[in-house]
Amino acid sequence: MGDAHYGFTAGDSIVITGAGSGIGRATALQAARQGLSVGVWDLNPAGVDETIQAIIALGGTAHGEVADVSDAAAVHAAMERTARALGPISFLHNNAGPPSTAQLDFGDAVRICVGSVQSVTEAWVPYAPQSGAAMVVTASVAGNLVGTANAWYSASKAGLMGYVRHLAAHRAGEFRSNGVAPGMTNTPRLAGFATSEMGERILERIPLHRMGEADDIAAATLFLLSPAASYINGVFLPVDGGWTVTQ
């Protein structure tokens, strides 16, 4: 995929949670190609290191944090260290979260998934510039039209959409808020899924007849964060090959 130019200012900074693999890593690498300095956050130390090394190989600047986004104190400390390393943080990609296949208690899962996004967002705001700041959440088509086998996943993704709408309506003076809603995406979490019986059934219902790639989601995320989307606020952008229009 070629890199579009969205009008970012070289040297501005972004924090990406869940940047050790998949969509988060793809966003980190595309952000580095746009000239952004990247705060790479993930629970997996090896994933953090691998993403940072890939950014350095592109000639970019990165700072890593092994961060549990469900721990508010750890989040605030990690954000402070990131801002010390990278300066003001113009952009935030709230991407971290458990996979839809995880067997989690409903209440715990919603608290972790939605609460962690609120915690990271509030930790970020003091380090954001007074103008031009933006935040994007990775939600899911499971938050609006496509159900999943796990109730907590659909409920938490819908909760994220509600939180973003609240921010867009009431915090727009500080930053813009939007979300991306990936469909079936080819990441390590779904390795082999496309060739499974269920995967093949789903692919038949996707008008583009393929899974999304992490770079597809990353490109949409960076567009929504960028100055090119400066009048877009409170939107959830499905990146699903048209899957939701077939539901």
Choosing from 127, 153, 163, 231, the catalytic residue is: 153
Q: Where are the domains of the chain?
A: 13-237
Q: Is 153 a known active-site residue?
A: yes
CB-based contacts of 246, cutoff 8 Å, min separation 6: 205, 206, 207
Q: Quick one: pLDDT band at residue 4, thresholds 50, 70, 90?
A: confident
pTM of the model: 0.93
Nearest residue to 180 via CA among 133, 131, 229: 229
Q: What is the pLDDT of residues 174-196, one digit of tens each?
A: 999 999 999 888 777 666 666 67
CATH hierarchy code of domain 13-237: 3.40.50.720
Whether the pLDDT of residue 148 is over 80: the answer is no
pLDDT tens digit sequence for 40-65: 999 999 999 999 999 999 999 999 99
- Using the predicted structure, report yes or no on whether residue 2 has a pLDDT greater than 60: no
In three-state secondary structure terms, 16 is: strand
Task: Produce one character per residue of 85-119: b if its CB has 16 or more CB atoms within 10 Å, e if not.
Answer: ebeebbbbbbbbbbebeeebeeeebbebbbbbbbb
Mean pLDDT for 221-233 is 98
Name residue 91's beta-bridge partners.
Answer: 14, 134
Pairing of strands 236-239, 212-213: unpaired
**Has residue 247 got a pLDDT over 80?**
no
Residues 84-139: tens digit of each pLDDT: 999 999 999 999 988 877 888 999 999 999 999 999 999 999 999 999 999 999 99
